[in-house]
Each structure stands twice: as C-alpha cells, then as structure tokens.
C-alpha cells in the first residue's frame, strides 16, 4: 500500500493520487525554490517543451528555460496569470505563482500551463466574441423593435397578411417579403420571428443598401485577425454567426452585389460560412427572411439578380399592403403610432379631429406608414393642443383631402385649385429657404416623403435635383 499524505481538508490521500494531482500532462508544472533552482519538473515536460527533467532539476531556471521569467515572481511576490509566452518554439498560455509558507514567506514559485495549444485559446476567443456580439444584437433588438411585433389594423387585406405571417412562422422556410417602401416589411419579419420557435434567439437585421460593397463579406460572414487593413486585432463574427439559432433579416436584398449573391446562395445551401481570412468553415444555424420593394423577377431578367438565389429565398412570399389599400385602418394605425411617439417624445396630442382624420384617409401616402409616422411626429412636436386639428396638418395633406371630399365646389375656371396650388407653392418655397435648399429637411418639416416633394417641385416647374434653393428652369 502506498505512502499516505495528510492534506488539510482532504484527510489522508494516497501518494499516487497526490502525484497525479501535481504531475499531469495538461499543466506540466515546474517548481523552483526561493533561489530559482528547479526542484520539480513534470515528467511530461519532455514531450511538451522538449526538456528532460533529469537534466534540468538542480539547475537555475534562467539557465534552462530563460523565456519563462519564473524567477521574477520571487522578487515581485505576485502571481502572473494567463500570460502568452513562446516556450520551446511554441506559443503557450501559462501562469506563474509564488509559493508561501504558513508565515507568508516566499519559499519558491510554480509555473504551469493553462493552454498548451494556442488553437484552444483562439477557439475560446471566438466563442466569447460570438457571445458578446449576440448580447449587443439582442440589446439593439430590444431598443429598436419596441412594439415592432404588433401588426395593427382590422381590414381584410391586413388580416390576410397577418395570417400568412402566422403560417410562415410555423416553418423554417425562407421568406421573401415584398411591398412598397414604408409598408412595414421589417415589422412583418419581426412578427414572424416572435411567433416562431426561434423567438428566444436573436433577430439580426441587415440593411443591404447601407453596407459599402467592399464590406459586405466581412459584415455578413465575419473575418479573422489580420484579414485586411483596419480589421480588429482579434477578428469579428459575421451577422450569420450572430444569428445562431435565430433569424437573419436581409432588408433590401435587391441591393446585394452579384458576387455576394453567389456566396449567400452557398451559405443558404450548406449552412456554413467562411470568415474572411479564415482557414475552415464555421457552422451556422439561422432562419432567413428577405425583403425588397423592387421586382426581383425583372432584375433576374436583367441578370442583376441570380435566378437560383431568387428561388432559394422565395419559398414563402408575403406582400405587404400599401396604406392606400387599407385606408380604413388609418385611424387605428394613427392612434397606435401616436401612443408610441408620445412615449418617445414625452408629450403631444392624444386624439385627432374628425376632419383631420378624414384628410389623413384621403391622402395618397407615397411613403406609406413611414410617412404617416413622420407626419404625426412633426404634428405632435409642434402641437399645443391635446387634439390634432386640420390646420396642424401639412398643406399637401389638407389640399388633397379638400379636393377629394369637396369635388363639386371647385369652379370650372379652377379658381380654388389655383389658390391651393399658390398656397402650396408658397409654403414649399419658404420651407426650402428655411432649410437652405436641403430637401430632406424640408420634406420632414412639411411632413411628406422626399419623393413627394420632388414630384411637387417638378409640377411647379423647378428642377427637383438641384441641391440649392430651387429656381425656375
């Protein structure tokens, strides 16, 4: 029977057990005394660092393995944990710890490995990077999608759209959402995600129109350390990795460059991504939802969009209705938007007068729900009443409402129409003077979509593409 050792807290332990605890192939410990002389070296040192313990014990550590600097912890009296050192030509992560007696005197030091293979460190780092990225994505998801899973409206067309979204949520099939700009394609995508089995995992949104072409690959698929100039020193996981177990939403997918379309097709088929500068594929688990306001079939005919990719993403198609198609839902959508805006702004009206609501229902809404939100936000900021009145609305909305609701009042010579046009022209020009020709700011102040402002400028005889205050052609 082996010799017994008494370790406080453990009772009597077999000597073989103690030796196995101290001398193992994973830590490969080296022990020096207070003079730096090696007193113990693991027998596994021969295979790990190419040193024979019999030839090393009794010698000073700096004469045997100078790169460890183990004797320095004797002078400092503090541990060094997790340092990366090159030992015997290999990068290793080690800890160097001073040893103290019961009087708290330093009697030596021990050096041992944490990771003998740097690949393990890199794998651990990748996992941490993925977790950090997913945490940030979830935080962004909470901040940006508050109330975003609610589909508001009672019209038959909107209810049919909602039912289609429910059906899509029951599968993992790829979904293509089409519709005009501002019709809530992202809301539908998020609704599908929250109703699916992946609801507890990330919802990663990618705006394909907002990413520079030269950054597409690194953003979607990630990159390794040193993959390109300006890359993070430790690499970065791509959007597909961050969507692990959840949903990736590719908005405006029609803007995806053709070379990237081929790579996206491969990812969808093989469920792996190749990081930029990487040497091995990374498995990914995601549900794909794509959206566009363009006709992809027309782009396929023009060879601007791959046909095989089109069929891959178009397993289940949902078309979002325009606001013109669901005018009966404008009151309930408006009230929902006002409640969200009031929470954001902190003040504002709580209701809309009947004539003002009728004007909203009659307006054509080229920017759809996004434009409606813009209009309501402006009114709520400047309004001094608890009710939105007709005069609070932008002149374009009021004019269109008057024309449609009172068609018989307009005289044959167009007197009313001309007065309305003159009033509209005056307001537009004054607003452009105020914004120094900035049409984006002017459209926001007027409460209309930028494209609607361009149309009106063209009708008034001005060049809508000028960047300064409009002048007659």
Per-residue model confidence as pLDDT tens digits over 95-147:
888 998 888 889 999 888 765 555 555 566 556 665 666 565 555 555 444 44
**Range from 78-87, 193-202, 246-255, 415-424 carrying the lowest mean pLDDT:** 415-424
CB 349 within 8 A of CB 379: yes
Classify domain 324-459 by CATH architecture: Orthogonal Bundle (1.10)
- Average pLDDT, stretch 387-406? 71
**Is residue 410's pLDDT more than 70?**
no
Which of residues 384 and 361 earns the better pLDDT score? Answer: 361
Which residues, including other chains, have CB under 8 Å from residue 83's CB and lie 6 or more apart? Answer: 93, 94, 95, 96
Strand partners, 223: 236, 276
pLDDT band at 407 (very low <50, low <70, confident <90, very high): very low
Per-residue model confidence as pLDDT tens digits over 214-250:
888 888 888 877 555 555 556 788 899 999 999 999 9
Q: Which pLDDT score is estimated for 235?
A: 72
Q: How far apart are CA 328 and CA 333, in angstroms?
A: 10
Q: How far apart are CA 54 and CA 41, in angstroms?
A: 9
**Is residue 148's pLDDT more than 80?**
no
Which of residues 282 and 418 earns the better pLDDT score? Answer: 282
Q: How far apart are CA 83 and CA 129, in angstroms?
A: 20
Q: What percent of the chain has pLDDT over 90?
A: 33
CB 368 within 8 A of CB 401: no
Phi, psi of 472 (to 5 degrees): -60, 140
Q: Which pLDDT score is estimated for 6?
A: 45
Radius of gyration of the chain (CA): 34
Q: How far apart are CA 350 and CA 393, in angstroms?
A: 15
Per-residue model confidence as pLDDT tens digits over 250-267:
999 999 999 899 999 999
Write the DSSP string, 274-302: --BT-SS-EE--EEEEEEESS-HHHHHHT
pLDDT band at 411 (very low <50, low <70, confident <90, very high): very low
| H-state helical runs in 286-414 | 296-301, 307-313, 330-345, 354-362, 368-382, 395-405
Q: Which pLDDT score is estimated for 413?
A: 46
Which of residues 298 and 420 earns the better pLDDT score? Answer: 298
Distances in whole angstroms, Cα of residue 234 to Cα of each of 127, 175, 353, 375, 379: 12, 34, 58, 45, 48
Token digits for 164?
């289609």
**Is residue 360's pLDDT more than 50?**
yes
Q: Which pLDDT score is estimated for 262?
A: 93
Residue with tokens 């306001």: 293
Q: Which pLDDT score is estimated for 437?
A: 83
Q: How far apart are CA 445 and CA 387, in angstroms?
A: 19
pLDDT band at 65 (very low <50, low <70, confident <90, very high): confident
Which of residues 409 and 66 earns the better pLDDT score? Answer: 66
CB 189 within 8 A of CB 291: yes
C-beta neighbour count of 64 within 10 angstroms: 20
**Is residue 457's pLDDT more than 80?**
yes
| Angle at alpha carbon of residue 296, lines to 251 and 267, rounded to 5° | 60
Which of residues 232 and 447 earns the better pLDDT score? Answer: 447
Domain boundaries for CATH 3.30.450.20 within the chain:
4-116
CB 177 within 8 A of CB 318: yes
How many Å separate Cα 197 from the centre of its chain? 20
CB 241 within 8 A of CB 127: no
Give the mean pLDDT of the chain.
Answer: 80
pLDDT band at 8 (very low <50, low <70, confident <90, very high): very low
**Is residue 77's pLDDT more than 90?**
no
Which of residues 193 and 430 earns the better pLDDT score? Answer: 193
In CATH, 121-321 is 3.40.50.300: yes
Q: What percent of the chain has pLDDT over 70?
A: 74
Domain boundaries for CATH 1.10.8.60 within the chain:
324-459
**Range from 52-61, 105-114, 123-132, 191-200 carrying the lowest mean pLDDT:** 123-132
DSSP letter assigned to residue 217? H
CB 443 within 8 A of CB 452: yes
Which of residues 150 and 470 earns the better pLDDT score? Answer: 150
How many Å separate Cα 444 from the centre of its chain? 27
- Average pLDDT, stretch 187-199? 93
Q: Which pLDDT score is estimated for 135?
A: 62
- Proportion of the chain in helix, strand, coil states, percent, rounded to 5: 45, 20, 35
**Is residue 348's pLDDT more than 90?**
no
Domain boundaries for CATH 3.40.50.300 within the chain:
121-321
Q: Which fold has domain 4-116?
A: Beta-Lactamase (3.30.450)
- Average pLDDT, stretch 59-64? 86
Residue with tokens 């393995």: 65
């Amino acid at each position: 029977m082996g010799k017994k050792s008494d370790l406080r807290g453990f009772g009597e332990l077999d000597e073989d057990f103690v030796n196995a605890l101290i001398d193992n192939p994973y830590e490969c410990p080296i022990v020096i005394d207070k003079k730096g002389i090696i007193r113990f070296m693991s027998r596994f040192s021969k295979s790990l660092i190419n040193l024979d313990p019999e030839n090393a014990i009794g010698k000073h550590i700096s004469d045997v393995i100078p790169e460890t600097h183990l004797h320095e912890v004797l002078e400092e009296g503090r541990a060094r944990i997790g340092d990366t050192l090159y030992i015997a030509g290999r990068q290793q992560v080690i800890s160097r710890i001073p040893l103290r007696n019961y009087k708290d005197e330093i009697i030596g030091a021990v050096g041992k490995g944490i990771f003998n293979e740097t690949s393990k460190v890199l794998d651990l780092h990748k996992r941490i990077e993925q977790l950090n990225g997913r945490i940030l994505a979830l935080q962004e998801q909470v901040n940006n999608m508050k109330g975003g899973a609610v589909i508001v409206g009672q019209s038959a067309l909107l209810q049919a759209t909602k039912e289609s979204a429910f059906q899509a949520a029951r599968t993992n099939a790829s979904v293509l959402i089409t519709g005009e700009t501002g019709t809530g394609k992202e809301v539908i995508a998020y609704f599908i995600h929250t109703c699916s089995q992946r609801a507890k995992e990330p919802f990663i949104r990618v705006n394909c129109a907002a990413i520079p072409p030269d950054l597409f690959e690194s953003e979607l698929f990630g990159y390794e350390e040193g993959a390109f100039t300006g890359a993070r020193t430790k690499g970065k996981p791509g959007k597909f990795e961050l969507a692990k177990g959840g949903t990736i939403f590719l908005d405006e997918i029609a803007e995806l460059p053709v070379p990237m379309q081929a790579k996206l097709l491969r990812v969808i088929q093989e469920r792996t991504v190749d990081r930029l500068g990487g040497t091995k594929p990374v498995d990914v688990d995601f549900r794909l939802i794509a959206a566009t306001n363009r006709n992809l079939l027309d782009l396929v005919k023009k060879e601007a969009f791959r046909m095989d990719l089109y069929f891959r993403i178009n397993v289940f198609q949902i078309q979002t209705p325009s606001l013109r198609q669901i005018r009966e839902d404008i009151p309930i959508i408006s009230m929902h938007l006002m409640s969200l805006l009031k929470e954001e702004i902190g003040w504002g009206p709580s209701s809309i007068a009947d004539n003002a609501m009728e004007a909203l229902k009659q307006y054509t809404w080229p920017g759809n729900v996004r434009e409606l939100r813009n209009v309501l936000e402006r009114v709520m900021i400047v309004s001094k009443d608890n009710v939105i009145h007709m005069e609070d609305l932008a002149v374009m909305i009021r004019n269109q409402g008057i024309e449609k609701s009172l068609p018989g009042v307009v005289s044959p010579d167009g007197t009313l129409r001309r007065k309305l046009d003159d009033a509209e022209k005056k307001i537009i020009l004054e607003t452009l003077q105020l914004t120094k020709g900035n049409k984006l700011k002017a459209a926001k102040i007027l409460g209309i979509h930028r494209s609607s402002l361009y149309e009106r400028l063209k009708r008034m005889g001005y060049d809508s593409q000028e960047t300064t205050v409009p002048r007659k052609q």
